[in-house]
Amino acid sequence: MTEQLTLYSYWRSSAAYRVRIGLNLKGLPYRTVPVHLVRDGGQQHAEAYRQLNPQELVPVLMHGDRVMRQSVAILEYLDETWPSPPLLPAASRDRQRARAIAQVLACDIHPLNNLRVLQYFDRTWSVPQPEREEWVRHWVAEGFAAIETMLTDHPSTGVFCEGDIPGLADCCLIPQMYNARRFAVDLTPYPTLVRVEQACLALPEFDAARPENQPDAPAPEPAPA
């Protein structure tokens, strides 16, 4: 496996964040190519990037000359290609549950709150920013409430969403927690999610994947004198 891994990423994209966690959990070194989602009218819309991803979204992962799109499908590829440590549990019923949690996050929260959707509201319907932010919080709350129930009701919840090994569901949860804090979502109704987040962020694989630790993250504000 000497073929290089290259991730087209944006520091604050939650879909790219998922893949960064997955790569780190697998112990795979990779090169980052930043794609700035706002600068230059959105670098993801540039012709060269469209050749990599006709959806004009991040991330894209290149493995050698292989072009891979869609973060959850990329994580499945990583798990099939480098099985250890696993991102999914062994038993099919547990795999189904882990994937279902991941899909709640990847299908039913994140795409609704994505940059392009908020831009649509602004440009097409002139929805004021406070109402756009209320929209974001609404869908986070709907999804988080469901996942909190799925976790508290189930015996296979462990230190992480599924058992005691961080995996696919955690790769999807942690970026969404970051996004929730960014939009000032009240997290007190989701104590299990907060507990899992703390366990994840204590691990170096998650820490290295944090938005603020990316090469394209803006420099931190200088401390007041």
Please report where in the chains the tokens 């507990």 appear, as a residue.
195
Query: What 3-state class would DSSP assign to 28?
Result: coil
What is the Cβ-side half-sphere exposure of residue 224, based on CA atoms within 13 angstroms?
Answer: 0
Neighbours of 133 (CB within 10 A): 16
Smallest distance from a second copy to CB 170, Å = 15
| Cα 44 to Cα 52, 122, 222, distances in angstroms | 10, 19, 30
Least Å distance between CB 116 and a second copy?
A: 8
Query: Taking the complex as a whole, how short is the minimal distance between the CB of residue 44 and a second copy, in angstroms?
Result: 12
Residue 210: helix, strand or coil by DSSP? coil
Task: Name the residue nearer to a second copy (CB basis): 40 or 80.
Answer: 80
Question: Shortest distance, CB of residue 189 to a second copy, whole angstroms?
Answer: 13
The residue with tokens 């073929």 is 3
Rounded Cα–Cα distance for residues 88 and 36 (Å): 31
Query: Given the complex with a second copy, which of 148 and 216 has the nearer CB atom?
Result: 148
Least Å from the CB of residue 32 to a second copy? 20
Least distance to a second copy from the beta carbon of 142, Å? 8
Strand order in the sheet with 5-9: 31-34, 5-9, 60-63, 66-69
Contacts of 1 (CB under 8 A, 6+ apart): 81, 82
Sequence-ordered strand ranges (E) for the chain: 5-9, 31-34, 60-63, 66-69
User: Footprint of a second copy on this chain (CB under 8 A)?
Assistant: 53-57, 66, 68-70, 72-74, 76-77, 80-81, 92-93, 95-97, 99-100, 102-104, 106-108, 110-112, 117, 120, 125, 127, 131, 135, 138, 142-143, 145-146, 149-150
Q: Which one, 147 or 180, has the nearer CB to a second copy?
A: 147
Q: Closer to a second copy at the Cβ: 83 or 158?
A: 83
Q: Which is nearer to a second copy, 16 or 104 (CB)?
A: 104
- Judged by CB, which is closer to a second copy: 142, or 186? 142
